Amino acid sequence: MTADRMLLRHGLRRRRTSLKSKTLLSSSSSRRGAFSAAMQQFEELMTASAAVGPASRPITLYYAMAQAGLAVAAAHKPDPWSFSRHGLKLHNPRSSLADIGVGPEGVGAFQFVAQATNSPELHRLVRFGALWSSLPDLGEVSPLSFAAPEALTVLPERSSPTAEARVILICPNPGPEKFMSTLAEALHKYPGISGFRVIPGSYREIQKSRWSVDLQWDRPLNFDEVAPPYRYNGEHYLRPSLDGQGGKPPSPFMTWWAILYTFSMLSRYFPREWATALDVDKSPDAYLLEYALDLALDVVPHLTMEALDGEPALFTKPLAF
């Protein structure tokens, strides 16, 4: 067990008592009972997830997240707070992974937990590749779809008297003569940052298909809202809109929820196709799926703790070699 995973486990256990007096749990014995049972099931399902391989792990991971969501709803959502439906539906499940669709279906777990955590919901069909790319720790490893915009690293300049930040883009380096048009085309997909201007001379090529520019705004800009920190101190990201209308995407917690729902449905109802996708000798996506399922063992408890607390819980990022 990693140090962060151990800290999260103990932090989540502490919240099984500490939240009862300062959330909606204090108002109802049925809420408290559901919260305690769901958190116990969450812990056991996460333990089970670590013990099984990628063929079965999606099932235990998704249901662990669903039980975490029930605990979050019991603690934070006004009545009605319990659910018995997924609230999501898979479309074209035999398509390539990136082209599988995920969309809302009625009102269920996804909608209730999104409301409990103040997250934007999914209101239309979204391609799985777009969900994947919108998460910093998945999109930056390798996108499933190169057509889907990725989460972009943002480095706010806190000492500037105006709103100012460096944005790192992941696409072929356009060069100093052409970057302005590339930038305008790329950034219109990211909500909340309109009205920027480029600081002259700030274009920098970091490496192949990775470049940066410094942007400035004449209006106040809360970077913690526009480019919220994600999991680690100092790690701010712009996440692209997924609704085609410039709306904010679902929170990372709810985006992971939709991703694990997709994996779970494929694993349960399309096991042959799922096994083919996991074949590391034949499937180019297999190592990415294994990576995501390994990563979820750390990410899901982390985001669950944030959802229970209603605020970020940021760690120091470990060194990479």
Pair 102, 28 in one domain: yes
Domain membership of residue 223 (yes or no) is yes
Q: Are 239 and 190 in contact (CB under 8 A)?
A: yes
Q: End of a domain among 200, 229, 258?
A: 229
pLDDT at 244 over 90: no
Q: End of a domain among 177, 195, 229?
A: 229
Domain membership of residue 320 (yes or no) is no
Q: What are the φ and ψ backbone dihedral angles of 101, each rounded to 5 degrees?
A: -100, 145
Q: Are 192 and 226 in contact (CB under 8 A)?
A: yes
Domain membership of residue 235 (yes or no) is no
pLDDT at 55: 98
Specify whether the backbone of 196 is left (phi greater than 0), alpha (psi in -120 to 50) or beta: beta
Under the banding of pLDDT at 50, 70 and 90, the label for residue 319 is low
The top-scoring range by mean pLDDT among 141-150, 158-167, 230-239 is 230-239
| The token pair that represents 62 in the structure block | 């998704």
Q: d(Cα 46, Cα 62) in Å, to the nearest integer?
A: 10
Please give the sequence-ordered ranges of beta strands (E in DSSP) within the chain, or none if there are none. 88-91, 101-104, 126-127, 152-156, 163-169, 197-198, 204-207, 210-217, 236-238
pLDDT (mean) for 76-102: 96
Pair 75, 99 in one domain: yes
CA distances to 69, 146, 188 from 245, rounded to whole Å, are 27, 20, 10
pLDDT at 98: 94
Task: Give 104-134 pLDDT, tens digit per residue.
Answer: 999 999 999 999 999 999 999 999 999 999 9
The predicted model scores a pTM of 0.95
Domain membership of residue 271 (yes or no) is yes
Pair 15, 106 in one domain: yes
Pair 164, 119 in one domain: no
Domain membership of residue 321 (yes or no) is no
Domain of residue 122 covers 3-143+245-309
Pair 123, 158 in one domain: no
Pair 105, 55 in one domain: yes
Q: End of a domain among 195, 229, 263?
A: 229
Domain membership of residue 316 (yes or no) is no
pLDDT (mean) for 180-204: 95
pLDDT (mean) for 221-240: 94
pLDDT (mean) for 187-200: 95
Pair 58, 200 in one domain: no
Q: How many domains does the chain have?
A: 2
Q: What are the φ and ψ backbone dihedral angles of 68, each rounded to 5 degrees?
A: -60, -40
Pair 263, 288 in one domain: yes
Pair 27, 102 in one domain: yes
pLDDT at 270: 97
Pair 131, 274 in one domain: yes
pLDDT at 320 over 90: no
Domain membership of residue 238 (yes or no) is no
Q: Are 292 and 58 in contact (CB under 8 A)?
A: no
Pair 112, 53 in one domain: yes
pLDDT at 245: 86
Pair 9, 119 in one domain: yes
pLDDT at 1 over 80: no
What percent of the chain stands above pLDDT 70? Answer: 98
Under the banding of pLDDT at 50, 70 and 90, the label for residue 4 is confident
Domain membership of residue 126 (yes or no) is yes
Under the banding of pLDDT at 50, 70 and 90, the label for residue 321 is very low
